[in-house]
Structure 1
Amino acid sequence: MSANFGKAGAYYYWISRGVDERPVRANRIRKSVGAENTFPSDLSEFDIMAAALQPLIDKVWHHCQAGNRGRTVTLKIKFADFEIVTRSRSVDTPVSSRVDLERIATGLLKAEMPMPKRVRVLGVSLSSLLSGDAAEPQLHLPI
């Protein structure tokens, strides 16, 4: 292994066998929150896909009710042939309501219509997270 991979060879050897001795960091800072769903039948119509986004938006917003807010909304689309595309939009201030999250996510979906292929999976995520008081817009004072 080290002949091909140098110092990292032993690491790759053990990782490929599921052995990882690094300590678990259970309290790391969350960088994003998301939800996705695989559908029993492929989707092609905007209204059906927009309706299918609603429970995903609810799940993402549920995590935001603890005070987390994010600035980047990402829509994941996986087609029936397993090709994946993502579209995202970042806003200047953190997304402050479920309505705003829904507006951005469905706007990203609408911009992709009509879909070139049938859709198997949809996902929504919110990233560039801020927590607690950091999520509140700051008052800008003149200098």
Structure 2
Amino acid sequence: MMARATLLAGLAVAASLATGSAAQSMTQAEVNDLLRATPEVYNGLFTAAIIKHIADSCPDSIDPPGKLARVAYFFGLYNKARALGPDRGQIEAFVEDEAEQERMRQLVFTYLRAADVDPMNEQAVCAYASDQIAEGSAIGKRLREK
């Protein structure tokens, strides 16, 4: 029994070390491609970007999720990304990359335009947010009207 426990502990350490070395062998470009290609992560970041755009556009009428909800949401996304192999620094570099942020901003704008919403028209964005809240959509469930 003791030998089995030692073997399992050894395998856990080996798996941990293997994951760490795999992440170290990934370039930042590979990490970026991996995170973009993982819907659970990228769609989550996309949803957060839409909510941020709405909250920034509608500070007088729409409340974003509270701080605890945001922390829990991003921690969940971080854990999903981390399980793919990249280390914390690589994940942060991806999220903080200016070109990646611009790419996401353009995706948000494209999404809103497809919904017949001018992303630069605050009144239109706020009306869209109110509609999403009323519909109880995935985005609407995370927002609150003031």
Say yes or no: TM over 0.5.
Answer: no
Report TM bin, short chain.
under 0.3
Question: Greater strand percent: which structure?
Answer: 1
TM-score, normalization by structure 2? 0.25
Question: Greater helix percent: which structure?
Answer: 2
TM-score, normalization by structure 1? 0.25
